Amino acid sequence: MNKSIYAYIIVMAVVSYLIRVFPLAVIRKPITNKYIKSFLYYIPYVTLTVMTFPAIIYATDSKVGGIAALVVGVLLAVFTRNLFIVACGCCLTVLILSFVI
């Protein structure tokens, strides 16, 4: 193996460790600022969205099918709020468009 790979792994480990430990070491008392609390509240949702959004579009053979499934999924989620119906609607959209396109 190349020796530079080990350097990359060590740097990644140090950066990951610092990102997780630094807030614990610096912030000792509870956060009371409502803006910081709301920012920290939404971070998991934003991270999940950023990871999921490209996968939705590029999961199919055509981008049109992925975008159509995204639109159908958002509409079904807004109106039904049922995860099973949203998943089935998205799958059916991609299936129908795969036959059409």
| Spatial contact of 89 and 76, defined as CB atoms under 8 Å apart | yes
Q: What per-residue confidence (pLDDT) applies to 23?
A: 81
E-strand stretches of the chain:
none
pLDDT above 70 for 2:
no
Give the count of domains, the chain.
1
Distance CA 11, CA 47 (A): 23
Reported as a single tens digit per residue, the pLDDT across 47-89 is 888 888 888 888 888 899 999 999 999 999 999 989 999 999 9
The two three-digit tokens of residue 58, written as one number: 């590029």
Q: With bands split at pLDDT 50, 70 and 90, how would you rate the model's confidence at 1?
A: low
Distance CA 23, CA 27 (A): 6
Structural domain range at position 45: 3-100
3 state SS of 80: coil
Reported as a single tens digit per residue, the pLDDT across 19-51 is 888 888 888 888 888 998 898 889 888 888 888
Q: Which residue's entry shows tokens 């934003």?
A: 46
